[in-house]
Amino acid sequence: MERIENRIARVTVMAIRELYHFEEKQDNIQVLSTRKDQIGDYTVVTFPLTRISHKKPEETGTEIGDFLKAHLPEISRFEVVKGFLNLILSDSFWVTFFNGINRIPNYGHRDVLPDSPVVVVEYSSPNTNKPLHLGHIRNNLLGYAVSRIIAATGNQVKMVNLVNDRGIHICKSMLAWQKWGGGATPESTGIKGDKLVGEYYIRFDKEYKSEIKQLIAEGLTEDQAKTEASLIKEAQEMLLKWENNDPETIELWSTMNGWVYEGFDKTYRQLGVSFDKFYHESETYKLGKDLVTAGLSSGVLFRKDDGSVWADLTADGLDQKLLLRSDGTSVYMTQDLGTAHQRFEEFSFDRHIYVVGNEQDYHFKVLKLVLKKLGFVWSDKLFHLSYGMVELPHGRMKSREGTVVDADDLIQEMVDTARKVSSELGKLEDFPFEEKELVNYRIALGALKYYILKVDPQKTMMFNPEESIDFNGNTGPFIQYTCVRIRSVERKAAEMGIGPDSDLKSTPDANVDQTLDPRECSLLKRIYQYPDILAEAGRSLSPALVANYFYELVKEYNHFYQGCPIIKEPDSNKRDFRLSLSTFIANHIQDGMGLLGILIPDRM
């Protein structure tokens, strides 16, 4: 069905042709949502049209308004304010619109078809030397929500996770466990596997710094001490053993990584995120070597005297980028070249999105450019969703110093806070224990996810757990509670034998007395905008647009709820309409929050 904004623009072109004998392009007609300080639903900007009418803006607006009202039955009246023609749509338009969407599941979604574009979204990408932390939480929640939104806008989405399970940082944890672990395991200590391994990464850093300090005291410079410390030399030896497939080293690496994977899986389940496929750096780090070899042969890349291989990007305003070390080992860029090629061969993607923090902006500029120079035209399909860091009141997090906010600890803190707030408000007193715990968990995760996702991804954000769990304001629990309130109204209506009318009339002559309260019109107008907002969220990869739309919708609904009786409305037509509208909004909230990974409790 043609959008009302397009119909208004199209008929405005007809008005200009008939009134002023001028052929104007429809794209030149500005139809906007009416400003909040003025009366109206949509506004035609008439200032630019005075060049055609050769009349004052007010007179031009009045003439075009009369034409639109005569030719568009959806317009009930209009007002002209200087150069703005404000149009008020009829109640019958809004009733017709609502009847058209009332029984549509997943309103605003587009169908995913066999020939729909394929989009690969890589997110999470953790290191197996430490547990997930607050920064990973933003990455995971953003990656999952973006994937859901892209799918809702008609794309085939593949969610992938590249686990960084090799390198010197992994060997640091392994070496520290060998030296100071005493055979500790997750089972023997009762410590979650990723946390246990992370403790030895921190231990390595502590002991390494101590050794550096001692060497400096013995007369070495700081740079000399860092390279001469026995610990770092042992870690480098372990890395060489790993790369040479030393059985003992590989066995230890496999065991400790196994502990970490079990820990990651538990955190992913708690967060409610998932993946279609996992990749491991240990299996993919060599993939780019063949591409580099081909680039050398074609002259795109060059070899330095020490045998290392580089890409010269200085002509493109960048620098020279290392692709293979002098000993032939690969770097992160080499791996990403190979995995990008592998995924294009695997999925023939139309777009590949990397959800990675903005500290890697340069890396992805280089990745696209090198692939392009190697002759891969699909390199233009790569996109870096660069998001801002999550900051804390006491500064940035540092994994090796143990100053991170652990993801599991944060989730537990959120659940504890939700439990405390619910208890203080007395909301769950009569609930069975298991249901109470489930509700507190959903409130906690809803608060966490919404607080993070309501912020534009590109912005750095300050995380405040206490602000996130509030039943008022722009929070997840506020939205959840509104949905739960509607479900309570539905249950009360059902107990009274009242149900929403599934056959509300959509034509004025069939239901001439179906007038709407302005608050109902405001709700319907907001809902009307959702398909465009969802589509824009998919284009801009911004779950914040969806999050804040539902906050505004919930605010509108609560205004309606306070002023418009539902079950107690004496007019059965109005009562059934309001109940039907409320049910639609509850379903709509549930679907929209689902795109953000937020679940709604049945009661709270």
* Confidence category of residue 276, pLDDT binned at 50, 70, 90: very high
pLDDT recorded at residue 505: 43
| Whole-number average pLDDT of the chain | 93
Element spanning 147, H or E:
helix 134-152
User: pLDDT tens, 357-384?
Assistant: 999 999 999 999 999 999 999 999 999 9
Domain ranges of the chain: 4-89, 167-273, 407-595
pLDDT recorded at residue 394: 57
pLDDT recorded at residue 403: 54
Residues in the chain: 604
Task: Give me the mean pLDDT over the 433-444 stretch.
Answer: 94
pLDDT at 482 over 60: yes
User: pLDDT tens, 550-593?
Assistant: 999 999 999 999 999 999 999 999 999 999 999 999 999 999 99
pLDDT at 500 over 70: no
Answer yes or no: are the C-beta atoms of 577 and 514 closer than 8 Å.
yes
Task: Give me the mean pLDDT over the 266-274 stretch.
Answer: 97
Helix axes 134-152, 407-425, angle to 10 degrees: 80
What is the chain's alpha carbon radius of gyration, rounded to the nearest angstrom? 30
pLDDT recorded at residue 330: 84
Using CA atoms, how far apart are residues 75 and 85, in angstroms rounded to an integer? Answer: 12
Answer yes or no: are the C-beta atoms of 42 and 29 closer than 8 Å.
no
* Confidence category of residue 260, pLDDT binned at 50, 70, 90: very high
3-state SS of 532-551?
A: HHHHHHHHHCCHHHHHHHHH
Strand, helix or coil for residue 531: helix
DSSP string, 338-400: HHHHHHHHHH--SEEEEEEEGGGHHHHHHHHHHHHHTT-GGGGGEEEEEEPPEEBTTB---GG
User: pLDDT tens, 116-170?
Assistant: 999 999 999 999 999 999 889 999 999 999 999 999 999 999 999 999 999 899 9
Helix axes 433-453, 543-563, angle to 10 degrees: 120
How far is the CA of 587 from the CAs of 42, 472, 483, 599, in angstroms? 27, 21, 8, 12
How far is the CA of 390 from the CAs of 127, 418, 477, in angstroms? 18, 22, 21
Q: Higher-confidence residue: 261 or 422?
A: 261
pLDDT recorded at residue 504: 46
Task: Give me the mean pLDDT over the 197-209 stretch.
Answer: 96
> What is the pTM for the complete model shown?
0.92
pLDDT at 503 over 50: no
- List, in order, residues 6 or more apart from 200 with CB less than 8 Å away: 172, 173, 174, 176, 177, 180, 181
* Confidence category of residue 509, pLDDT binned at 50, 70, 90: very low
pLDDT recorded at residue 309: 97
pLDDT recorded at residue 402: 47
> In this structure, what are the phi and psi dihedrals at residue 114, rounded to the nearest 5 degrees?
-55, -30
pLDDT recorded at residue 427: 74
Q: Which CATH architecture has domain 407-595?
A: Orthogonal Bundle (1.10)
Q: Higher-confidence residue: 70 or 500?
A: 70
* Confidence category of residue 462, pLDDT binned at 50, 70, 90: confident
pLDDT recorded at residue 502: 44
Task: Give me the mean pLDDT over the 235-243 stretch.
Answer: 93
Using CA atoms, how far apart are residues 155 and 195, in angstroms rounded to an integer? Answer: 37
Angle at 510 between CA 508 and CA 512, to 5 degrees: 50
pLDDT recorded at residue 510: 38
> Strand 382-387 and strand 156-163: pairing?
unpaired
Class of domain 4-89: alpha beta
pLDDT recorded at residue 393: 65
